[in-house]
Amino acid sequence: APWFPLGQVGGVPVRIHVTVPLTTLLGGGQAGHLDGYGPIDPATARALALGGTWKRLVTDPLTGTVLDLGRTRYRPPPDLAELIRLRDKTCFRPGCGARASGCQLDHTIPFARGGTTAWENLGAACSVDHPLKTDGHFHVRQTTPGIFEWTSKRTGRTYRREADGTTTPLNPRTGQPLTPPEDA
């Protein structure tokens, strides 16, 4: 009979997915979950986690929706992608009305530079504005999930795309919203 190293079948590493609450890893009694099987007792969950490669996934405690994959995957899973598009409603560039449902998802801090595939680092980008950001014509910051500040490399002007899709010009010196002059 052929012999295979432990953890391999046909020379290919075996991959199992076990979800273990942090409290269980710390000795608590909450069950883990083995994909394709179901609940497993806490001791088995701890034993499987002990010998495995860990990947952090942050989930919404109410829905179980993945909110953050850390640096384990570039492309977000469908549930996270849907949440980003629902949150943003339109392209993340101030003044762009392209519907988010037809947009690509962009890492605010590029994945290649350490950015995570996460709720607070993704935004809906249309096919026109995504390259403008990626090619360096604008510096983009996501100050809060769904709020994006775009600074033009050419003019130095900054515009904030608010969560409701409106645009706020910002004072280049203070970073505060520009206010129209008061009537005298």
The domains found in the chain, sorted by start residue, are 15-50 (no CATH), 71-170 (1.10.30)
How far is 165 from 127, CA to CA, in rounded Å?
18
3-state helix, strand, coil in the chain (%, to 5): 20, 25, 50
At position 107, the amino acid (one-letter code) is: H
Residue type (1 letter), 33: H
Task: Give the burial class of 23: count Cβ atoms within 10 A of its Cβ; 0-12 exposed, 13-18 middle, 19 or more buried.
Answer: exposed
Helix (H) or strand (E) holding 83: helix 78-88
* pLDDT tens per residue across all 184 residues of the chain: 555 455 555 666 667 788 888 788 888 998 988 888 999 999 998 888 887 777 667 777 777 777 777 777 899 988 899 999 999 999 999 999 999 999 999 999 999 999 999 999 999 999 999 999 999 999 999 999 999 999 999 999 999 999 999 999 999 888 899 876 565 4
Distances (CA, A) of 50 to 24, 71, 93: 12, 21, 44
Q: What are phi and psi of 49, to 5 degrees?
A: -65, -35
CB 44 within 8 A of CB 56: no
Global pTM?
0.68
